[in-house]
């Protein structure tokens, strides 16, 4: 089949020349990182703000990679360096181009600047602004934990030090990949952060069990937010749109919120919420548990005696999630089940979780839980030969096979909401189409 090169590909080629480090191509895997948009922190993902026409993409690609957050003193030079193992303040600021003995002494000895010395962790990105002769103008150092930084400024030979929130901007990135061995192998190869990969597993968690359902050749595309500070990525934000083709079936997720109240959810292109009454897997998905996919540890359905359920092999301590909203009916020790939790859900549904190592705090008879809440941890209490979760799905207190039971389907958006939904998600749909097309083009 002949593939006509769409305009976006030409633009991407140009973009790749200018920004080779921002363009990922793996064997058979197409991945695009576009500065689709540069905007203030916490942008609402509505289509009016997300209108990334191809023209604006190109214009925004011309932005310098590092946009200095403080641009009020144009004569200053901006330098950025990552902290390396064994760095001291002296070696770090030397790499930053600071040639200012007085400033180096201040940074090394003053009490206000002491957190820099104490929190010199490899990988942190430090930004310095200097004058033409290397004299320090300012230095910003990211503090451990939350998005805070220490800002040291030198003005007419006087120093001021303050702790402040890191200036951030949110960019929209788009990536797509194909599963060859595992989800994380695929997401690593295209540079999709773990937080976004796990979010993707959550978004599709009502339809796909990411521990057991994935197959070689599955494909995915993601449009997501990435929070940057001074041109450096800080963390992944929300997924705005995603598409996952699992065993030949394609699922689409579009983020939509009715009001700009920060709450929202994921919907298919038909306006049906992706969130299902029950999650497909009671196990928390992570890099560690994702490796537990050998056939030995695949879910096993037992039918022996009254012990009817599914066993999920997982490392001890793995989070066990409530698969649906409900209340705790039982929590404690129960015979062969060991540490055991039974949750009561809507209608006549209940779920049960056995062999737990322990319970999450607050999980007591009568307490309310929400879908996805961690209620306990995988262990090997009760009658078991190894660490695993025993999971039961019950209807009117009778065990049924959760892997085959037909579950109540979700209610779609009301007709009068559909128009707004379509308008707001048009761009997201177009973005998914763009990166999917790129992927196909490369594997042809």
Taking the least distance from each CB to Zn ion, the nearer of 271 and 309 is: 309
Minimum CB distance to Zn ion, residue 353 (Å): 11
Binding string, residues 309-328; x marks residues near Zn ion by CB under 5 A = x-x-----------------
Considering only the stretches 62-70, 94-102, 275-283, 389-397, report the one whose residues sit in contact with Zn ion under the rule CB under 5 A: 389-397
C-beta of 309: minimal distance to Zn ion in Å?
5
Nearer to Zn ion, 79 or 280 (CB): 280
Closest to Zn ion by CB, 13 vs 301, is: 301
Choices 23-31, 103-111, 189-197, 382-390; region in contact with Zn ion by CB under 5 A:
382-390
Binding-site string for Zn ion from residue 293 to residue 312, where x marks contact by CB under 5 A and - marks none: ----------------x-x-
What does the block give as tokens for 290? 């994702």
Cα–Cα separations (whole angstroms), residue 199 to 195, 240, 284, 313, 324: 6, 11, 11, 22, 18
Q: Closest separation between CB of residue 276 and Zn ion, Å?
A: 23
Q: Which of these ranges, 145-153, 211-219, 386-394, 419-427, lies near Zn ion under the rule CB under 5 A?
A: 386-394
Kindly state the tokens that stand for 48: 């009016």
Q: For residues 5 and 302, which CB has a smaller minimum distance to Zn ion in the complex?
A: 302
Task: Return the number of the residue (82 or 302) whose C-beta is nearest Zn ion.
Answer: 302
Contacts of 420 (CB under 8 A, 6+ apart): 258
In which region does residue 68 sit, left (phi positive, over 0), alpha (psi from -120 to 50) or beta (all else)? beta
Stretch that binds Zn ion, among 231-239, 357-365, 383-391, 432-440 (CB under 5 A): 383-391
Residue number of the CB closest to Zn ion reads: 390
First-to-last C-alpha distance (Å) of the chain: 9
Q: Residue 345 interacts with Zn ion (CB under 5 A)? A: no
Query: What's the 3-state SS for 313-348?
Result: ECCCCCEEECCCCEEEEEEEECHHHCEEEEEECCCC
Residue pair 365/384 in contact by the 8 Å Cβ criterion: no
Token match 């000895």: residue?
109
What distance in Å separates the CA atoms of residue 324 and residue 333, rounded to the nearest whole number?
A: 22
Which CB sits closer to Zn ion, 165 or 303?
A: 303
Q: Measured in whole angstroms, how far is the alpha carbon of residue 425 from the centre of its chain? A: 20
Question: Which residue lies nearer to Zn ion by CB, 206 or 309?
Answer: 309
Instruction: Give the H or E element holding residue 125.
Output: strand 125-130
Minimal distance, residue 330 CB to Zn ion, in Å? 17
Considering the complex, what minimum distance in angstroms separates the CB of residue 277 from Zn ion?
Answer: 23
Shortest reach from residue 367's CB to Zn ion, in Å: 25
- In this complex, which beta carbon is closest to Zn ion, that of residue 251 or of residue 377? 377
Q: Are the C-beta atoms of residues 221 and 260 closer than 8 Å to each other?
A: no
> According to CB under 5 A, which one of 79, 390, 394, 424 is a site residue for Zn ion?
390
**Rounded to an integer, what is the distance from CA 419 to the centroid of its chain?**
29
Whether residue 366 contacts residue 321, with contact meaning beta carbons closer than 8 Å, is answered with no
Please count the residues of this chain forming the interface with Zn ion, following the rule CB under 5 A.
Answer: 3
Least gap, CB of 290 to Zn ion (angstroms): 22
Residue 157 tokens read as 């030979």
Select from 71-79, 94-102, 390-398, 405-413 the region that touches Zn ion (CB under 5 A). Answer: 390-398
Query: What is the b/e burial string over 326-349, where b = at least 16 CB atoms within 10 angstroms of the residue's CB?
Result: bebeebeebeebbbbbbbbbeeeb
Q: Give least dist CB 311 to Zn ion, A.
A: 4
Q: Give helix 415-443 / helix 7-18 axis angle, nearest 10°.
A: 60
Q: How far is the CB of 379 from Zn ion (least distance, A)?
A: 13
Smaller CB separation from Zn ion, 138 or 351: 351
Cβ closest to Zn ion, residue 390 vs residue 436: 390
Please, what is the minimum distance in Å from the beta carbon of residue 88 to Zn ion?
A: 55
For the chain, the 3-state helix, strand and coil shares in percent, each to the nearest 5, are 25, 35, 45
Binding site for Zn ion (CB under 5 A): 309, 311, 390
């Amino acid at each position: 089949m002949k593939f006509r090169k769409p305009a976006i590909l030409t633009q991407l080629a140009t973009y790749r020349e200018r920004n080779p480090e921002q363009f990922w191509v793996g064997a058979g895997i197409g991945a695009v990182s576009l500065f689709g948009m540069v905007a203030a922190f916490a942008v609402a993902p509505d289509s009016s703000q997300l209108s990334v026409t191809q023209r604006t993409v190109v214009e925004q690609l011309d932005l310098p990679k590092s946009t200095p957050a403080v641009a009020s003193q144009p004569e200053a030079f901006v330098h950025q360096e990552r902290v390396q193992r064994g760095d001291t303040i002296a070696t770090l600021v030397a790499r930053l181009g600071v040639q200012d003995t007085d400033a180096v002494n201040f940074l090394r000895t003053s009490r206000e600047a002491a957190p820099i010395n104490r929190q010199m962790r490899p990988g942190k990105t430090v930004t310095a602004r200097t004058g033409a002769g290397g004299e320090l103008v300012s230095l910003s150092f990211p503090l451990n934990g939350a998005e805070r930084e220490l800002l040291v400024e030198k003005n007419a030979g006087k120093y001021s030090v303050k702790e402040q929130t890191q200036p951030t901007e949110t960019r929209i990135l788009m990536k797509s990949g194909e599963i060859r061995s595992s989800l994380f192998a695929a997401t690593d190869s295209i540079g999709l952060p773990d937080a976004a990969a796990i979010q993707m597993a959550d978004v599709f968690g009502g339809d796909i069990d990411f521990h057991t359902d994935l197959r070689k050749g599955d494909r995915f595309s993601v449009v997501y937010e990435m929070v940057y500070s001074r041109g450096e990525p800080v963390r992944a934000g929300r997924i705005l749109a995603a598409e996952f083709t699992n065993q030949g079936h394609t699922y689409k997720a579009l983020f939509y919120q009715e009001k700009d109240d920060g709450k929202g959810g994921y919907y298919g292109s038909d306006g049906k919420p992706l969130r299902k009454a029950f999650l497909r897997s009671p196990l928390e998905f992570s890099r560690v548990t994702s490796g537990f996919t050998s056939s030995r540890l695949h879910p096993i359905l037992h039918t022996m005696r009254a012990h009817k359920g599914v066993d999920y092999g997982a490392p001890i301590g793995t989070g066990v999630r409530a698969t649906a909203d409900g209340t705790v009916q039982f929590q404690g020790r129960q015979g062969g089940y060991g540490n055991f939790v039974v949750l009561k859900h809507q209608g006549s549904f209940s779920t049960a979780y056995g062999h737990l190592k322990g319970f999450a705090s607050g999980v007591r008879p009568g307490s309310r839980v929400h879908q996805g809440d961690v209620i306990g941890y995988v262990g090997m209490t009760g009658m078991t030969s190894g660490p695993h979760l025993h999971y039961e799905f019950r209807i009117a207190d009778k065990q049924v096979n959760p892997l085959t039971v037909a579950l109540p389907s979700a209610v779609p958006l009301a007709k009068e909401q559909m128009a707004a939904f379509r308008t707001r998600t048009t761009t997201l749909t177009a973005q998914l189409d763009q990166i999917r097309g790129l992927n196909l083009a490369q594997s042809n």
